[in-house]
Structure 1
């Protein structure tokens, strides 16, 4: 919610409080102000100018030579390239020496031989976004109405000297989605009065009911519908003050009638809609559910296919608006509109959200209906709009409103005792202080003994239970004033659990190897939810997802990490190493809480290390990632229990992937991202790993033991074995270790060969074996005896022959 400081000052006295001070007070009272923007602070020397003459630049077809009165003794010559500049216009002029947003300084210059003393500005050059500028000024310069004077401050005329407070509202504080709602909040904080508009439009003798009737066929979705008729309006631009207030609030101006409905929306928080009465096609408004497959063209000229779970406003036959979301092109207010029907209604938030989500139409109106509007403002907002249309569009307001339906506006009553309030807050407040806080909030109260009963106004739909009253007292009393106390009794110093310590060791290890930690969403799409999952289950779907891309709980960390790597690759970061430790969610059945497991995942692309001055570089490969995982296992004490075996899970390269086993039980995968998937997400050759972190950190570990440095020399033997191409080196290594016994202290593969002079279907695998005895020096005969056992075992168990 963007709040204009100058607009807010119309409803509550802000004297003596700067915008920055006000932002601090609002934040301390519970509504976070994300920032205060003061557009004029980075601009100076911007004035109103009057274009007295315009002629074609003698040396440039696309430039104009303008003589502009800027309120000084003599007019100045300015060269302007805008197509819409012309004599007789009032424009914003940046004088010589002026500063525009981005510290852009205006200097005297010559353009194609003609002197230019300043610049005629567009709204965008004055810091207003293109999406907020009126369409007629989306390109070219801005023209002021005639009620300005050359030389006066253009920034003040455009309300660029305003301060804009950006409020970050939680869903329960829908009351602050309006200027009046914010005014109530600020008045309570400052202990000042609220000055509300008192709409009282002058009415003609003709009745609104003679022009329109209303019938509601879906009262649960639309309990109240109010309409007023304004005739003989003159469509044109709205006053500059209204346009600038709307732009400061993040709303684009259109014309006086549409701008009035948007102005009242921002003022009251009550969405309105203006229909061209003559284009409705009937004298009847019928509110009903849409028919499945019914077609309707909205204001954005898009044909929508409706369904029976959506609410429409009709002329008795065809839809003219999608209730609470967007009007129809067939009844749109346009330049030739003469008679206007103002709609002010209370729509059920769920029905509005259903339609808004189905058609991907998020609007200021739908956002407010979804969060809840104040039912007591439905009539007042309608009257306010009618009054403004009479004042600003020259319309004639017909007598009375046409009302259909009935909406209960009973105010809730909530009670709390002083003892409970003080117990929860840890304070020693007296009843008169509590009553004063509710007075500032403009809540009616009744006190009986130590119990206070509050009558909650309809604008505060978030207050329903005693705890809500406690929160109101706390934030207005001031969180800073709540006393700080230490717990009583023996206090145990905090420490990390073994699991937390293990997780921290894992993170430090990976960061030490060159990885950066990533934090990604737990929510994903149906397509990504099951990708790379170590355990394939039906993904857990959210009942009310934010979007289709965030509709399921993830079962793997890898999809989002791959997206992050692709994002970096696309921005010329070819070498990326990211890891994440976070939870995945496994479906345990319908109406059962999903199982949450912590996983460790990583993605690496590009060069692992590159030293150009030494002419040395190494690209990431399978063995880089395998080494990282082995180093991690050693760091957490699992180095002798982690093994790898060939695997080909979905999404991985079938020849460069391995399953990770802990004590022969699967705990993850490492490998290369399948090339087809890499191409799909536009990521370079990437290597991945995902491990069951909770299983690894909870695994039992033997106590740390130490061995003396060997005093006796070791003896090495190298063997090259010829085996079938399908035989894995790990299988041969296992045979060697088992046969070598205690004297065999090390086995290492140092060469694999397939090709020339090797029988087809065969390969050579070479191992380096190390024999040692900690108690003595081994003799050659002792080593030979053990070595022979190894060779015999290889022959019998793996059909391995020594290579000649």
Structure 2
């Protein structure tokens, strides 16, 4: 968040230097990353008026301009064509310093002495993006009332100090000039002056005759305010507004868009302006999008929406993606005559999910996704209308529409100063705590020593007494809190390996898009038939419940597979296009029935995946990633048959000689039993106890290699039934310790490869950590590998 000191002075009378403000706000929880001083190096520029323009006698493209700067009349040479007589301009006199440190001196231009320079916006440190086209290509022309002879820096706020703050997501209220200024006021004990707003409302009609607003999904939109502005005059915004926007990292566009951005930066409430005449049916509907509905956004891209995304729509189609970006069809353009102004508050998590799904993040969504205060929406709307009236951009229609279906209740907390002092290790009086909280605009009330606190509506992060303690501590001053050792003997807590591994596995899976599910350990025995468990298989030895509630829950499960398929099926039936789920749970086993001793409990991990982009290699990749994170090595995937899985898309996973689990696509018969015909569902069930046992928690480091590697590529023509994993194992055994890495980079079947054969290409990397390898010894190893593959697998080296 870029914070302008000049802008903050609209709210408080502050005289401290930017560096001191940055330091003090860092001490109360707002880390200042940098301080930049804008325009400080520029000097010697004044306001002048063009008196006369002549052609240069010796240069066709140059003009000789006489400029009055009150003290004297200067002769200045320029090539710019946009300046004319009586224009007010910015003049850099002899000795002036411009942006970038350029110093102005008198200069001879082909026989005519130029006594200074008429400046463009860029030369005085301004971005010309929001200026008219002629000023972007020429000189900066000032308003007609600019006082001739005055120092330009006294006339225009060219100098400013900008602090960049790194804000935490919980402080959504501070993503604005006002929000951070409130914190400065609390620290320095300044009085905060809010904008005074009074509108003329000179529009012709009342708003109720021009637009209707309804919120269909009140769980995603908490408040929607609308205003209509008539007789719009689209053009550049004034220079002072452009300067403030640029200081805070926002480029000017035009006066209407700039006003909405200005208010967003000032108050923290994003606004959006629609071209009113392009709203079909003169109705705004806030609703979830329909599946497959599309909108072309302001960036010119067509985006497909889903039912979880919130849109602003008219009678016919979406006109904006709520809280993120408007639609191209309702964009403000040069011919716009009437504007519909929106000030709304949306559910933050939904905005974040929508932005992530669409790959779209804006300054507005950045604020909405953190959760905004519904109470500031009206202030922001009125502030924008005030600026529009003051700048003469348009006339505000009478009245406004405010749809506010659910007013949020205020949090009320007891101010228990004894508990707060215990939390902080301090001895702060109750009165002092109340004083600090009042500085932060908290409402403090009560009597007889029993006080309650109501946080301001914009402090939605305050929910418990620990939050109050933090607020008191940071304003009281962390450096004022005494250091002390704990008064009681403490012990070091440590989790068991199984819990650490479980946390690591869950974290990795969640980071890869999986969701955890829980299923009952008691199942229906008919589920074993549905997943095709053969008679006599150990999974058929199920332990029955003596008094089951029903047949649906009558035996203890021996595999997690039925439960995970049930959950995948449920999600598919709910129109889920992609499913990634996992469960870590117990299975129960016995050697003989009836049960004579307690059953053996085994912990299993099962994965379930479904989607258009999901195949066997996708679930294999997840397993390999998981095993690598646990530092489990020497794992092999072997083609196998498993009762519940497709015979051609199934593998057993071995860790040395231990069977770690199975992975593959569910058998077509199983899919049919679950009424999932045509759905390709992939599962993997792993021995979690073995994962814990074989995982390596020790991180080992090796020095960076000093000697270069040598690489070789080998391609063998092999029989189709030969497993590549066996070939890799043979190559590793034959190559010995100099082989650092081996990878498959191509498997080819087709032209020049006989029927029933396949070409497999390997990339081999050799390295010694003690010396540089010679070609002769690598060639010798290569010949051994070729010979070994030929002898064991009848593989032929592919020449081309």
Fold-level similarity (TM above 0.5): yes
CA distance in 2, matches of 1:468, 1:690: 58
Q: Secondary structure at the match of 1:357?
A: helix
Q: 2:708 corresponds to which residue? A: 620
CA distance in 1, matches of 2:372, 2:745: 52
Q: Secondary structure at the match of 2:264?
A: helix
CA distance in 1, matches of 2:127, 2:734: 51
Q: 1:514 corresponds to which residue? A: none
Work out whether residues 45 and 99 of structure 1, in 8 Å CA contact, stay in contact via their aligned partners in 2. yes
CA distance in 2, matches of 1:407, 1:272: 20
1:375 counterpart = 2:374: yes
Work out whether residues 68 and 78 of structure 1, in 8 Å CA contact, stay in contact via their aligned partners in 2. no
Pick closer, same or farther for the CA change 1:232–1:588 going to 2, 3 Å: farther
Q: For 1:31-42, list aligned pairs within 5 A.
A: 31-42=30-41
Q: 1:11 corresponds to which residue? A: 11
Q: How far apart are residue 474 of structure 1 and its match?
A: 0.5
Match of 1:121 among 112, 119, 122: 119
Pick closer, same or farther for the CA change 1:659–1:255 going to 2, 3 Å: same
CA distance in 2, matches of 1:688, 1:121: 64
Deviations 1:557-601 (A, max 9, x none): 9xxxxxxxxxxxxxxxxxxxxxxxxxxxxx9999x9998663536
Once superposed, what is the RMSD of the aligned Cα atoms? 4.7
Pick closer, same or farther for the CA change 1:374–1:251 going to 2, 3 Å: same
Q: For 1:104-143, list aligned pairs within 5 A.
A: 104-112=102-110, 114-128=112-126, 137-143=135-141
Q: Secondary structure at the match of 1:429?
A: coil
Deviations 1:266-298 (A, max 9, x none): 222111111121222322111222223323222
Deviations 1:467-510 (A, max 9, x none): 11111000000111111234569999x9xxxxxxxxxxxxxxxx
Q: Secondary structure at the match of 1:600?
A: coil
1:298 counterpart = 2:297: yes
Unmatched 5+ residue regions in structure 1?
Answer: 495-521, 527-536, 542-550, 558-586, 609-618, 624-646, 661-668, 677-684, 692-729, 731-747, 764-804
Q: 2:146 corresponds to which residue? A: 148
Q: 2:91 corresponds to which residue? A: 93
Q: For 1:220-231, list aligned pairs within 5 A.
A: 220-231=219-230
Q: 1:176 corresponds to which residue? A: 174
Pick closer, same or farther for the CA change 1:750–1:117 going to 2, 3 Å: closer
Q: How far apart are residue 119 of structure 1 and its match?
A: 3.2
TM-score (norm 2): 0.63
Deviations 1:642-689 (A, max 9, x none): xxxxx9979xx99998658xxxxxxxx83599999xxxxxxxx99899
Q: 1:644 corresponds to which residue? A: none
Q: 1:267 corresponds to which residue? A: 266
CA distance in 1, matches of 2:205, 2:100: 55
Q: For 1:41-60, list aligned pairs within 5 A.
A: 41-55=40-54
CA distance in 2, matches of 1:278, 1:749: 75
Work out whether residues 126 and 243 of structure 2, in 8 Å CA contact, stay in contact via their aligned partners in 1. no
Q: How far apart are residue 368 of structure 1 and its match?
A: 0.9
Unmatched 5+ residue regions in structure 2?
Answer: 493-508, 514-604, 610-620, 630-684, 712-725, 747-762, 786-800
Pick closer, same or farther for the CA change 1:753–1:333 going to 2, 3 Å: closer
Q: Secondary structure at the match of 1:433?
A: helix
Q: 2:232 corresponds to which residue? A: 233
Q: 1:712 corresponds to which residue? A: none
Q: 2:701 corresponds to which residue? A: 600
CA distance in 1, matches of 2:88, 2:427: 62
CA distance in 1, matches of 2:96, 2:732: 65
CA distance in 2, matches of 1:555, 1:393: 66
CA distance in 2, matches of 1:129, 1:100: 14
Q: For 1:241-640, list aligned pairs within 5 A.
A: 241-393=240-392, 395-447=394-446, 452-486=451-485, 598-600=699-701, 620-621=708-709
Q: How far apart are residue 129 of structure 1 and its match?
A: 5.1
Pick closer, same or farther for the CA change 1:374–1:334 going to 2, 3 Å: same
Work out whether residues 410 and 454 of structure 2, in 8 Å CA contact, stay in contact via their aligned partners in 1. yes
CA distance in 2, matches of 1:4, 1:523: 40
CA distance in 2, matches of 1:755, 1:277: 75
Work out whether residues 79 and 114 of structure 1, in 8 Å CA contact, stay in contact via their aligned partners in 2. no
CA distance in 1, matches of 2:121, 2:473: 44
Match of 2:200 among 187, 202, 227: 202
Work out whether residues 153 and 159 of structure 2, in 8 Å CA contact, stay in contact via their aligned partners in 1. yes
Work out whether residues 673 and 688 of structure 1, in 8 Å CA contact, stay in contact via their aligned partners in 2. no
Q: Secondary structure at the match of 1:304?
A: strand
Q: How far apart are residue 65 of structure 1 and its match?
A: 4.1
CA distance in 2, matches of 1:449, 1:56: 86
Q: 2:653 corresponds to which residue? A: none
CA distance in 1, matches of 2:415, 2:340: 46
Work out whether residues 82 and 134 of structure 2, in 8 Å CA contact, stay in contact via their aligned partners in 1. no
Pick closer, same or farther for the CA change 1:412–1:352 going to 2, 3 Å: same
Q: How far apart are residue 151 of structure 1 and its match?
A: 3.2
CA distance in 1, matches of 2:402, 2:687: 49
Q: How far apart are residue 419 of structure 1 and its match?
A: 1.8
Pick closer, same or farther for the CA change 1:750–1:292 going to 2, 3 Å: closer
Q: How far apart are residue 343 of structure 1 and its match?
A: 0.8
Deviations 1:87-143 (A, max 9, x none): 444333333322234333233333455433333333333334576777775554333
CA distance in 1, matches of 2:11, 2:54: 47
Pick closer, same or farther for the CA change 1:658–1:471 going to 2, 3 Å: farther
1:670 counterpart = 2:740: yes
Work out whether residues 30 and 167 of structure 2, in 8 Å CA contact, stay in contact via their aligned partners in 1. yes
CA distance in 2, matches of 1:162, 1:749: 60
Pick closer, same or farther for the CA change 1:92–1:540 going to 2, 3 Å: farther
Pick closer, same or farther for the CA change 1:524–1:417 going to 2, 3 Å: closer
CA distance in 1, matches of 2:312, 2:357: 17
Pick closer, same or farther for the CA change 1:601–1:750 going to 2, 3 Å: closer
Pick closer, same or farther for the CA change 1:754–1:302 going to 2, 3 Å: closer
